[in-house]
Amino acid sequence: MRAIAVIPARLASTRLPRKMLREIAGETLLARVYLGVRACSLLDDVIVATDSEEIMQLCRQKGWRAQMTSNAHRSGTERVHEVSKSVASDVYLNVQGDEPMTRAEHIAVLLDLMKDPKIQVGTLKTPAAAVDIPNPNAVKVVTDAAGRALYFSRATIPYDRDGSTPRYFKHLGFYAYRKEALDRFCALPESLLERSERLEQLRFLENGIPIHVAETPYDTIGVDTEEDLQRVEKLLRGR
């Protein structure tokens, strides 16, 4: 199974300007993500997909493969889709560029899930820490008995009406797609639930495309704010 990881890396960011080039424990955010992905020997290639000449320049300096993509893309998935038009693969991984705690195990678990040729879209979950359960920036996911996502939400799901203390799972920013699923996603309009939650993966579910979810014990912290950056910095320096 040929597998390529694509790291969408957009320089413009409203909540944390130029975050891809911000340093975390001596490395840029982008470098942290790239090196974490590259640590997995199961990948055939890793490609940074960006709309920034500054990021392209960094990639050239580091010797990383990178591709300039349209600045009109609204999501990382659309950027991965553009790469898929020129680079052939059985599976395309989308590793969001704000995941500096990416490790080889995340990639390996996701690729293992995609060994089943019937699975069109895969992603990851991890047991939610207590601090993340009520946090709207930590997306929760619930799955059926077969491991398919029922719903993703910024709300606390499932709702614990009777104090039964259900298990809560946090969704992590790693995806795997087959080309057919990528093509269909990008041909569909933004869905109502996607617009409400600001979660693009809901477009798949609203249009009847199953998302299979594998579990990993390795949590991550997506960097969206200055506070996130400082939290990750502290964790990485404490290793």
Query: Beta partners for 125?
Result: 171, 215
Element (H, E) at 185: helix 179-187
21 pLDDT higher than 90: yes
Give the model's confidence band at 237: pLDDT under 50 very low, under 70 low, under 90 confident, else very high: confident
pLDDT of residue 172: 97
Retrieve residue 119's tokens. 């699975």
What one-letter code names the amino acid at 75? S
* Conformational region of residue 217, where left means phi above 0, alpha means psi within -120 to 50, and beta covers everything else: alpha
List, for residues 157-196, the tens digit of each pLDDT value: 999 999 999 999 999 999 999 999 999 999 999 999 999 9
Q: What is the pTM of this model?
A: 0.94
pLDDT of residue 9: 94
pLDDT of residue 171: 97
Give the mean pLDDT of 16-23: 91
Token look-up 């506070």 returns 227
Residues 6+ apart with CB under 8 A from 225: 15, 16
239 pLDDT higher than 70: no
Q: What is Dmax (Cα atoms) for the chain?
A: 57
Report the C-alpha gap between 77 and 83 in whole angstroms. Answer: 10
List, for residues 80-122, the tens digit of each pLDDT value: 999 999 999 999 999 999 999 999 999 999 999 999 999 999 9
218 pLDDT higher than 70: yes
